[in-house]
């Protein structure tokens, strides 16, 4: 019974090794195809590969339209990078704004909220001002009589 179990285990191990080797061979073949197949490459990889394959003579004799396309592509790449940087700086600025708002809210919460006390102080201020104006009016009125 044990010998059958060990034989079965050995067969399973061999099958796994075969599967792994087939998988690795398949992935290597896929990588080779992707590097050879331009459809699987990004445009940047294709242009880089094309420029590497061309001799300096061929590069210098490129069509002016191709040179314009390359410069337009590089300009577009630069524009995209600058847009990304500006978006990052804007997000950082908005983050700083929210931090400032939070700090302001916390600072305002430290101030005691006493509407009743504010009304008392207002009425006291008005009362004192009335008494002063009345007293000043009596003094001036009394002097004129």
DSSP output for the chain? -HHHHHHHHHHHHHHHHHHHHHHHHHHHHHHHHHHH-GGGS-HHHHHHHHHHHS-HHHHHT--HHHHHHHHHHHHHHHHHHHHHHHHHHHHHHHHHHHHHHHHHHHHHHHS---HHHHHHHHHHHHHHHHHHHHHHHHHHHHHH-
What end-to-end distance do the CA atoms of the chain give, in Å?
136
How far, in Å, CA of 136 to CA of 130, rounded?
Answer: 10
104: in domain: yes
67: in domain: no
pLDDT tier for residue 135 given thresholds of 50, 70 and 90? confident
For residue 90, give its domain range.
83-112
51: in domain: no
State the pLDDT at residue 65: 80
pLDDT tens digit sequence for 106-134: 988 888 888 899 999 999 999 999 988 88
91: in domain: yes
92: in domain: yes
108: in domain: yes
State the pLDDT at residue 53: 58
Q: Across the chain, what does the average pLDDT equal?
A: 77
Statement: the pTM of the whole predicted model exceeds 0.85: no
**Top-confidence range, 34-48, 84-98, 112-126:** 112-126
Structural domain total, the chain = 1
State the pLDDT at residue 4: 76
How far, in Å, CA of 61 to CA of 53, rounded?
Answer: 14
pLDDT tier for residue 41 given thresholds of 50, 70 and 90? low
25: in domain: no
88: in domain: yes
């Amino acid at each position: 019974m044990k010998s059958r179990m060990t034989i079965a285990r050995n067969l399973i191990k061999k099958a796994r090794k075969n599967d792994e080797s087939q998988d690795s061979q398949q992935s290597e073949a896929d990588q080779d195809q992707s590097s050879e197949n331009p459809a699987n490459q990004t445009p940047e990889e294709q242009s880089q590969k094309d420029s590497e394959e061309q001799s300096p003579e061929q590069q210098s004799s490129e069509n002016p339209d191709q040179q314009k396309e390359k410069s337009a592509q590089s300009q577009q790449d630069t524009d995209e990078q600058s847009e990304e940087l500006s978006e990052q700086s804007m997000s950082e600025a908005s983050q700083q704004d929210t931090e400032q708002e939070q700090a302001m809210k916390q600072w305002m919460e430290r101030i005691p909220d006493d509407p009743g006390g504010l009304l008392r102080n207002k009425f006291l201020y008005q009362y004192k001002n009335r008494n002063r104006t009345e007293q000043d009016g009596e003094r001036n009125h009394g002097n004129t009589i």
